[in-house]
Amino acid sequence: MFLRQSGIHHASYSADRALFPIPFDRWAVAVLLAFGLAAPWLVSSLTLSTYLLPWIVWTTAALGLNLILGWAGQFHFGYAAIMGIGAYATVHGTRHGIPFEIAIVLGGLTAAAIGVVFSFTALRVKGLYLALSTLALQFCMDWVISHVPAISGGTQATLQAPPLKILGQGVSSETGYYYLALAWCLLVTVFMLNLKRSSLGRALVAVREKDFAAAVIGVNSFYYKLVAFATSSFIGGVTGAVLIFSFYHAVTPEQFAVNVSIEVLAMVIVGGLASIIGSFFGAAFILLMPGLMNALITWVSARLGLGLSVETLAHLPHAVYGALIIAFLLVEPMGLGKLYNNVRNYLLVWPFGYTRK
């Protein structure tokens, strides 16, 4: 119907490698982009700041983690710590008078540097052992941040982020914050799209799939794992800073604790490893589903007069939410992104499904 491949002929190799070769996809992206840009006028400011903004920021974080987990195939249980390093470095930088644009890059670089130094040792082990050593990074960072007053501002302290200024202009509206987050999200998304079709992306997948086969075609696994760690840490660090400056406006160690790491990990896995659109879905699912479930169950119980107790009402949404995650992963272990792709592949040839096996 609208989504179809027939009649699309590429006359050059670069056209064959275009980001969105199918017209329907191009239109969909254009419409979504227009919506994203016009969102401050289309949705209420409450929706913008409590749903759209966090969704975009966490999607960016999920994309960053997906780079290391989905593409390079290396476990990372300490991604929140990496985001925290970037956030703290940026906040300290701006508090010392460094302009925000430079401070945030420095924040990202700090996260990348610590990430690389750490992965130098961590990457000597693989699989579950790597997962555990990244968890160690998380706990080390938690401890260092909360026990070094120079970083956290003291035990139990909340470090206020200075007012956001971009290119000398003060930004203090929800719209401004939203655009900051959106701009960073778009940059990272475009980078990941390019990664999919570039030699770097292929080398990372080679390392993920079979490192001995990667070596045989000349890929230095260790080097590319380091590159993946550094890049993903940079994205994480900047995202952490964006999260603070656009959403929290103050930084505390709990914002980047281990449960946050697990949450980002859940976004990536539920969304789908190495799936870009999946990271968008995954972040939406993990962020919004608990609230939606809560509202839905309260509504249903009121509507049907079930008379559920307050405790049941508090716990049931969590149970259903957990069950939903399991259900989705049972239906499609490769996540929501793959689910979307299945539907898309079906529609691509509809109604001539037999042309695809």
Partner 1 sequence: MTQANDGAAAGPVLECVDVERRFGGLAALSGIHMHVNRGEIFGLVGPNGSGKTTLTNAITGFYPPQKGSIRFGGRDITGTPPHRVAGMGIARTFQNLALFNGMTVLDNILLGRHIHMRPSVLRTALYWWMARAEETRHRAAVEEVIDFMQLQSVRSELVDGIPIGMKKRVELARALVAEPTFLILDEPMAGMNQEEKEYMARFILDARDERGVTVLMIEHHMDVITGICDRVMVLSYGESIGTGVPSEVIADPRVIKAYLGSAHGAH
Residue 159 bridge partners (DSSP): 251
Q: In what helix (H) or strand (E) does residue 262 lie, and over which residues does it extend?
A: helix 258-271
Min separation Cβ 234 and partner 1, Å: 9
Smallest distance from partner 1 to CB 326, Å: 23
| 217 interacts with partner 1 by CB under 8 A | yes
Strand partners, 170: 165
Question: Considering beta carbons, is residue 54 or 236 the nearer one to partner 1?
Answer: 236
* Measured distance CA(17)–CA(10) in Å, rounded: 9
Among 12, 155, 259, 355, binds partner 1 (CB under 8 A): 12
> In the set 201, 240, 253, 278, which binds partner 1 (CB under 8 A)?
201
Please say whether the dihedral angle defined by the alpha carbons of residues 291, 292, 294 and 295, taken in this order, is positive or negative.
positive
Binding-site member from 22, 43, 131, 200 for partner 1 (CB under 8 A): 200
Per-residue contact string for residues 223-242; x = within reach of partner 1 by CB under 8 A: ----x--xx-----------
Please report whether residue 274 would count as binding partner 1 according to CB under 8 A: yes
Residue 127 DSSP code: H
CA-CA-CA-CA dihedral for 248, 243, 65, 221, to nearest 10: -130
Query: Under DSSP, is residue 166 helix (H, G, I), strand (E, B) or coil?
Result: strand
**Of the candidate residues 219, 244, 257, 268, the single one contacting partner 1 (CB under 8 A):** 219
Q: Give me 302's structure tokens.
A: 């009121």
Closest C-alpha among 130, 112, 133, 138 to residue 69: 130
The answer to whether 26 contacts partner 1 (rule: CB under 8 A) is: no
Residues touching partner 1, count (CB under 8 A): 33
Binder of partner 1 out of 220, 309, 342, 345 (CB under 8 A): 220
Q: Say how far apart CA 349 and CA 351 lie, in whole Å.
A: 6
Interface residues with partner 1 (CB under 8 A) are: 12-14, 16-17, 191, 194-195, 197-203, 205-206, 209-210, 212-221, 227, 230-231, 274
